[in-house]
Each structure stands twice: as C-alpha cells, then as structure tokens.
Amino acid sequence: MIFTPSPMLLKLLYTRGSLHNTPEGVAFSIKNRLDTVHLSRIDYVQLDDVRIGPEQIALDLGEGDVRPAAAFNADGAGFALPVGQSATFHLATEPLPEGLHTVLVQFTADPFGDLSVEVEDSIVNIPDNRTRIPRQDQDDYSEAAIQARQRFAEEFSGQQFKHLKHYSFDAHDLQGNCEHFTGVAQIPVGLAGPLHVNGEHAQGDFLIPMATTEGTLVASYNRGIQLLNLCGGVKCTIIGDAMQRAPVFVFDDARGARDFGKWVEENLDKIRPEAESTSRVAKLQYIDTYLSNKFAFLRFNYSTGDAAGQNMVGRATFAACSWILANYPGSPIRHFYLESNFATDKKASQINVMRTRGKRVVAECVVKRDILQQRMRVTPEQLAYHGQVSNVGAFMSGANNNGAHSANGITAMFIATGQDVANVSESSAGILYSEVTPEGDLYISITIPSLIVATHGGGTGLATQNECLRMLGCVGRGTVNKFAEIVAGVVLAGELSLGAAISSSDWVSSHEQYGRNR
C-alpha cells in the first residue's frame, strides 16, 4: 500500500541550512525520508521569482554520481533514490545574496506521482578559515581518510595516540554507525555468571559479558548471580512490548483538538495500513491521544521485531500522519510536528513507567533464608526492611527507580552488545519489590518498564558487539525477547548483591578490596 505525502510533510524532505552559493551557481539538498522512490523527472526549481529549468539543474547523489536533470528527463529511465539517501541540487544560476529565500522544487517520483516541495532557507556567509576535520567524499571509511583524521587529531592536540588507532575490523562496516571514524575506545569486558534463566524465551545458563571501567561491578553482579543460581535461577517474563513516536497537531482551539482525537480513534483501521506500508516489521498496535490546551498529542505504539525500532517507527508515523493531514475533514490543522517530546526518546519519564517503552520485563526469585544468610550475611527481614526505607528516599528524591543500581548492569551489557547506550536513560527505570514469604524466605522482583534492546540493526552487527551477542545466543531472528529476559535477570542479580552489601555494611569493604578507593 502506498501513502500520499502531504505538502506539510514534504517540507521535511528539504535539508534545512543546505542552501549555499557555489562557483557555478546555487546548491541545496533534499533527503529521502519517505519511502524508496524512483525519481523520474525534474520539472523545475524556483528560487524566489526565478524559475530554473532542467537544462540548468544537475543532481549529485554522492560518490561522484552526478546526473544532469535534462538527461534523465529525456531518456525517461530515471533512477532509484533509497530511503536515507540525499540528493544535492546544483543550479547554474546567479548566486543569491545573504538572507532569506524561497525554494520550490517540482518533480515526479514513482509511486507518488507529481510532488512539490516549497520551503524557506537562508544564505549565510560562512568564513572559509574554519578548522575542519578531514573527510573524503568518495570513501570516508578508507584507510587514507582515517589516517588523515588521526594525523589531524595528533597535530591539533599536540599528542600522540598509540592505542586509539588500532582496531581489528573493516572500517567500512561502520557506515551508518559512526561518522568521521578515527579509532576505537577499548572498554574492558568482564564475564559474570553463568546465570540460570527460567524465561519464556531465555532458558538455560548464560555467560554474561559486561563492558565497564568501574571496579567491583562485575564481581558484584557475579555474586548476585551465584545467589540466584543457588535458589534455582531467575524467572523472567515479558509483560509488554511497544515502541513509540509521538507527533503533535496544533489547532485553533481546544474543541478542534478534542474533535480531532475522536476522529483518530474512529479511523484507526484506516491509519494502521498507512503506517505499516513503510515496513515489513513495524506493526501499529494502538494510538493513545492526550489533549492539552489546543494541542492533540498522539502516541503511536508499535511492535518492531528484533530491532529497537526508533527510526522504524518514525518512518511509519511519518506515513500515517501524511495520510491524516490529507484526509482529516475537521478544523484546520495549523501546525504539525512529527515528534512532540511526548515519546520521551532518550529521556526518563513517568509515562514510560506507566505505559511501557521497549520491553516491559519482570525478573523475580524466591531466595531461601539459609542461603541468603550464608552467602550475603543478611536475613530476609533485614533486606525487606531496608527496601522500605529506600522507598522513602527514592520517593523524596523523585528518582525513576526505587532499586539500587540497575543502570550499572544495563549499561555494561549495552556497551558490550552494541545497544544504543543513550537508551539507558529510559531503560534504567525500575520498580523493585520484596517481601518475606510465609516460609521465612525472601521474594524479590524488579519490573523494568522501558527496556530498549535489539538483536538486529544499530550496533549489534559490529565486530566485538556481535561476538558478545553470540556468546549469549542472541543472534538471528526472534532473539530480542530472549536478550531482554537475560538483561532483566542480570539486573535482579545486581539489586540483590548491592542491596545485601549495603544492609550488611560490606559495601565499602568491597570497594576497598576490588575497586579504586585506595
């Protein structure tokens, strides 16, 4: 199914700030953010009141691929422009003066048909004496390009870099993961476990790779893992799965926003196929509507397979909103923004705790009294009471976690396995609960409401990161839930270990023995 982009969304194709003068005339860039298209014709470009025909237009697709518009218009063959690729328009015309200008591009792209992009952009005088990091347009991941940046860094800083420059993989594998690649930061990887997981997706013993520079971290998690194993392992359950993008629509008044929200709810079955037309994986589950002032915030919720899915759901929501903008029959939509800050991407938030972002996972275990006393030197009553006191501290401070340090284990595993580490800001949220059972043992569980993980895409395919995922058996289709359960189990191990250490006053002595306190 093909969606039709609205004029409001087509404006987002233009790369803001790309308008500039060149020795041959004027240039600007457009980036395909819609769907893979076949660009079949360029009709004209208009700068302010000056119309420029195809005989004065050339498209630079990068890597030396420059195509005169008149040529591909004439043969009718056109060319494919994949999602994410940019095209720079070079116009043989008089240079523009500094200031604000109107840019209009009229073109044809299959399967959408005739499209028009009209925006305003500025010509700004940028001094030519700026210090620039070296890069190569042809192949910025070549050995020559990388060595040029290494020399630049050494000359600029006056330092020699021995370790930064050494790595064991083909730098071309980093395209899409790192720009201006210069070298690597080697982070120590320690092993904890094996951890016995009783999950619905992860079942068995797993060796845990943890990338960290914090002394005692691996030892602390290993101690908690041993305790869980002695009590039969950790039970892990995924109870929710949703990735969001949250656009906002602006109206003249509150009634316009309210009526729009009702219309969206009534037309979900029409919106869903528009969103899902952009991906074989992303599936729109539901849309939450939140109203405030004259704004309608829509929180689109998707399942995204083995990918974390932030980019995937952005593209899907872009398509859905294009259909909404073109088909909503009510009050005029005055403004639209694809992201309103309501999805809280890379930010901790209460809505994620309540409504889930990524995977919502629970890890739990019943820790036997005698094993807890023997291994951790605390009783179930001591740990449960300590948890009550800590709840007051977490409540008073406004923390997003009433546990001890779930971010430690999550971050160490994220770095080791190629996750987007900034997602720790959301993934670190946790709800810890414990009680003394009628038998006198300790029941303890933690809910991670917004664990954002992937076993496909992002950095998961890079050299050492993929090896760590293979160590966990989390490579291949259908492994992301397995990975989420393992992470949750590790988090619970860390909560037990540190909570017991603080309760028994072992915390400082452990850092003295293993850490950097001396």
By percentage, how much of the chain surpasses pLDDT 70?
Answer: 94
Predicted local confidence at residue 508, as pLDDT: 45
In this chain, the answer to whether the domains covering 7-123 and 189-241+356-515 adopt an identical fold is no
Second-level CATH architecture of 7-123: Sandwich (2.60)
- Among 13-17, 223-227, 283-287, name the one with the lowest average pLDDT: 13-17
pLDDT at residue 111 in the model: 75
pLDDT single digits (tens) 465-487: 999 999 999 999 999 999 999 99
Top pLDDT among 248 and 73 is at 248
Q: Is 140 considered catalytic here?
A: no
Q: How confident is the model at residue 109 (pLDDT cuts 50, 70, 90)?
A: confident
- Which CATH architecture does the domain made up of 189-241+356-515 adopt? Alpha-Beta Complex (3.90)
Name the residue with higher pLDDT: 517 or 162.
162
414 pLDDT more than 50: yes
pLDDT digits (tens, 9 = 90+) for 347-396: 889 999 999 999 999 999 999 999 999 999 999 999 999 999 999 999 99
Residue 113's pLDDT band, with cuts at 50, 70 and 90, is confident
CA–CA gap between residue 361 and residue 340 (Å, rounded) = 26
Instruction: Specify the residue for token string 């569980």.
Output: 445
308: Cβ–Cβ under 8 A, 6 or more apart, which residues? 243, 358, 419, 420, 423, 452, 453, 454, 457, 458
pLDDT tens per residue, range 297-348: 999 999 999 999 888 998 899 889 989 998 999 999 998 888 899 999 898 8
Helical segments of 178-253, H only: 217-230
pLDDT for res 218: 95
Q: Which of 214, 259, 339, 467 is catalytic?
A: 214
pLDDT above 70 for 34: no
pLDDT score at 69:
86
**Mean pLDDT in residue range 150-160:** 94
Catalytic residue from among 420, 485, 495, 506: 420
| Predicted confidence (pLDDT) at residue 81 exceeds the cutoff of 80 | no
Statement: residue 1 has pLDDT above 50:
no
Can you say how many angstroms the Cα of residue 232 is from the centroid of all Cα atoms in its chain? 35
Task: Report pLDDT digits (tens) over 220-255.
Answer: 999 999 999 999 999 999 999 999 999 999 999 999
Q: With CA atoms as reference, report the closest residue to 352 among 238, 248, 429.
A: 429
Give the tens place of pLDDT for each residue, 183-209: 999 999 999 989 999 999 999 999 999
Known catalytic residue: 214? yes
511 belongs to the catalytic site? yes
At 15 the pLDDT is 85
Q: 54 preceded by cis ω (within 30°)?
A: no
Q: How many CB atoms lie within 10 A of CB 41?
A: 16
Greater model confidence, 410 or 8: 410
Sort strands 283-292 and 203-211 into parallel, antiparallel or unpaired.
unpaired
Angle at 26 between CA 23 and CA 32, to 5 degrees: 130
Give residue limits of the domains in the chain: 7-123, 140-186, 189-241+356-515, 247-337
Which CATH class for the 247-337 domain?
alpha beta
